[in-house]
């Protein structure tokens, strides 16, 4: 017969109609990930701690050669921009996963930093305060 998806709160139920088996796959998500101290329209009732997520990304030789030539001519180094954007997204995803493991509803005061770990490799870290909302 097929599969049907029902979203109930933060739980997704998968119903396999052919075998009448029911499985539960929890796909929680945060109410908000914000750079402010509060979430508009919500009251913070508990501070759970610091949620963090990081990734370390390295450049590759092929990209370095093409970007080096582009650097001589000037302009945006798009391959590096993409590399850093992907790293930021992954760091935020990991921070949100850390917050969910803590039982958070939201992450406030989110900040991001980057640092060079070694020549050609940078770390991007996202961190914030994991909180429970009313």
Task: Output the pLDDT for position 83.
Answer: 86
Question: Which domains does the chain show, CATH number per domain?
Answer: 1-28 (no CATH), 31-133 (3.30.110.70)
What is the rounded average pLDDT of the residues 118-125?
88
**Burial class of residue 7 in the structure, from the number of CB atoms within 10 Å of its CB (0-12 exposed, 13-18 middle, 19+ buried):** exposed
Q: Specify the range with the lowest mean pLDDT, choosing from 41-55, 60-74, 109-123.
A: 60-74
**Half-sphere exposure of residue 29: CA atoms within 13 angstroms, side-chain side:** 7
User: Residue 80: which pLDDT band, with cuts at 50, 70 and 90?
Assistant: confident
**Half-sphere exposure of residue 69: CA atoms within 13 angstroms, side-chain side:** 5
Closest alpha carbon to 57 in 115, 97, 9:
115
Q: Does 3 or 82 have the greater pLDDT score?
A: 82
């Amino acid at each position: 017969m097929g599969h049907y998806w029902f979203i109930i709160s933060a739980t997704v139920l998968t119903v396999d109609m052919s075998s009448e088996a029911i499985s539960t796959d929890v796909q929680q998500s945060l109410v908000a990930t914000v750079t402010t101290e509060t979430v508009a329209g919500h009251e913070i009732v508990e501070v759970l701690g610091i949620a963090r997520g990081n990734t370390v990304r390295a450049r590759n030789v092929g990209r370095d050669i093409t970007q080096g030539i582009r650097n001589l001519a000037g302009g945006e180094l798009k391959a590096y921009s993409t590399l850093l954007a992907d790293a930021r997204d992954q760091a935020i995803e990991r921070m949100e996963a850390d917050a969910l493991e803590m039982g958070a509803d939201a992450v406030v005061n989110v900040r991001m930093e980057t640092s060079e770990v070694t020549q050609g490799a940078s770390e991007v870290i996202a961190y914030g305060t994991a909180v429970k909302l009313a």
